[in-house]
Amino acid sequence: MTTSSKTSIYKLAVFLALLLIAGYQLLFTDTFAQTSSQIIITWQANNFYPANYEGRALVTPNSPVVLASELLRNNKLVDTTQAMFSWILDGKLLGSGRGLKEISFVSKKQAGDNHLVRVSIKIGEETFENSARIEVSEPVVVIEIKSPSREIRAGEEVKLQTIPYFFNVSSVRDLKFFWRVGNAKEESEGENRLTLSISRSQDTNQKTLQVFSTVQNKRNPLEFKNKTVQLKISK
C-alpha cells in the first residue's frame, strides 16, 4: 500500500470518528432536552401598597410571605398533587407534606438581610430541588407634589401627599401621618395630605423650605419611615 493510500485511509478514519462523536453528542443533548425538568419558585408579600401600584410588593420586617412552586418538564406543568414537598427556610424545615405546593411564613429579619428558601419535590423515585433568595427591605414613603418644579410662590398654595408602600397593615387607616415644615420644633399629626402656602407678608428671602413627613404603623410603633422633600421659594 502506498503512502498516499495510507494517508487517505487515516483521514477517512478520523472523519468517521469525528462524525460518530458529533452524532453521539447530538443524541445526548436531544435526550437531555427532552427529559429536562425545572422547579419554578414564586413568592408574594402580603402588605399594604396603593391600588395603582403594578410592581411586586417588597418584603419588609414582619411581612407575611406566600411561597409557591411549580414543576416543569419539557416546558409543561407536572401534576404534583401526589408529590411529596419539603420546604426549608433559612436552613430549618418550614413544612412538608403531600401536594404542599404553597406555604407561608412571616419575615422576622431586618431590612438589608435576606431569606434563603429551598424546596424539594419527590415524585416516585425522582427528586427535584431548587432554591431562591428573598431580600428584606424597608417600607417606602413617597411625597407627591402638585408642582412639577417643586416651587412655591408667595401668595400661592402647593399640595403635598404622602404615599406609603409595604407597611404591614391592611388599610391606610391603620397608619399615622406626621408633618413638620421648615424649622418647626414639633410635628403635627394629620392626614396624608398637606396644603402649604406662604403669604406675601412673610419674609421671602429664604430660598428653600424643607418639608418632613413621617408614617407610622398604629399597631406597631416601631414600624415607621421618614421622608424629606425640599421646595423652592420664589417671590
Output the tens digit of pLDDT for each of the chain's 235 residues: 544 443 444 444 444 444 444 444 444 334 333 458 899 999 999 999 999 999 999 999 999 999 999 999 998 999 999 999 999 999 999 999 999 999 999 999 999 999 999 999 999 999 999 999 999 999 999 999 987 778 887 778 889 999 999 999 999 999 999 999 988 877 888 899 999 887 655 555 668 889 999 999 999 999 999 999 998 887 6
Residues 65/88, Cβ–Cβ less than 8 Å: no
Q: Enter the C-alpha cell of residue 87.
A: 420546604
**Model pTM score:** 0.79
Rounded to whole angstroms, how far apart are CA atoms 65 and 113?
A: 15
- Please, which residues bridge with residue 97 across strands? 85
Domains 37-135 and 140-234 share a fold: yes
**37-135 architecture in CATH?**
Sandwich (2.60)
Annotated domain spans of the chain? 37-135, 140-234
**140-234 architecture in CATH?**
Sandwich (2.60)
Sign of CA dihedral 48, 49, 52, 58: negative
